[in-house]
Structure 1
Amino acid sequence: MKVSTIEPAQPLDHLAPAGRIGVVALATDFNIEQDLRRMLPGDTQIFTSRVRNYNPLTIENLRSMAPGISAAADTILPGTQLDAIIYGCTSGTVAIGSERIAELIHQSCPGVPVTNPVTAAVAAFRQLGARRISILTPYTEQVNCEVAELFQRHGFEVLNIAGFGFEDDTAMTFISPVDIVNAAKNVCDAQADLLFVSCTALRASVVLDEIEAQLGKPVVSSNQALTWHSLQLLGYPAPVSGYGSLLQQLPV
Structure 2
Amino acid sequence: MAPPPLPNLSACKKLGFIVPSSNTALEPLTSSILSSLPSHNIIPLFTRIRVTTVGTDPTTTAQFSTTTLIAAAQLLADAEADAILWNGTSGMWTGESLEADQVLADAMTQATGIRCSTTTLATVAAVEFLGVSNLGVAVPYSPDLAERVRQFFVSTKYGWNVTAVATLDPVPAGNLAIAKSSLADIKAVVRKACSPSSPAGNKAEAVIVACTNWPAASLAEEVEAETGVVVVDSITVTTWHGLRMLGCHDAIRGWGGLLSNPHKTGAGARLTSDSSSKRVNGEGNGEIVRV
TM-score normalized with structure 1 length: 0.86
CA change 1:31–1:141 in 2 (3 A) is same
Q: Residue 77 of structure 1: CA displacement?
A: 5.1
Give the share of equivalent positions with the same residue, in percent.
Answer: 24
- The runs of at least 4 consecutive aligned structure 1 residues that moved more than 4 Å come to none
Which one is further off, 54-63 or 67-76?
54-63
Match of 2:162 among 158, 171, 177: 158
RMSD of the TM alignment (CA)? 2.1
Kindly provide the CA deviation profile for residues 208-252 of structure 1, in whole angstroms up to 9, marking residues without a partner as x.
Answer: 111111112211100111111111111114211000000023268
C-alpha distance in structure 2 between counterparts of 1:15 and 1:219, whole Å: 33
2:105 maps to 1:102: yes
Is the partner of 1:230 in helix, strand or coil? helix
CA change 1:245–1:17 in 2 (3 A) is farther
Kindly provide the CA deviation profile for residues 77-136 of structure 1, in whole angstroms up to 9, marking residues without a partner as x.
Answer: 51x4321111011135542631242144235412x2222221111111121121010100
Which segments of 5 or more consecutive residues in structure 1 lack a partner in the other structure? 1-12
Q: Residue 166 of structure 1: CA displacement?
A: 3.4
Kindly provide the CA deviation profile for residues 173-204 of structure 1, in whole angstroms up to 9, marking residues without a partner as x.
Answer: 01111111122222322521111111000101
C-alpha distance in structure 1 between counterparts of 2:91 and 2:120, whole Å: 10
Q: Residue 33 of structure 1: CA displacement?
A: 0.8
Which segments of 5 or more consecutive residues in structure 2 lack a partner in the other structure? 1-6, 197-202, 265-291
Q: Residue 61 of structure 1: CA displacement?
A: 3.9
Match of 1:184 among 178, 187, 190: 190
2:220 maps to 1:208: yes
2:79 maps to 1:75: no
C-alpha distance in structure 2 between counterparts of 1:32 and 1:249, whole Å: 22
Partner of 1:32: 26
Q: How many residues align?
A: 238
C-alpha distance in structure 2 between counterparts of 1:85 and 1:219, whole Å: 23
Aligned residue type for 2:163: L
Is the partner of 1:75 in helix, strand or coil? helix
C-alpha distance in structure 1 between counterparts of 2:59 and 2:223, whole Å: 32
1:119-134 to structure 2, matched below 5 A, reads 119-134=121-136
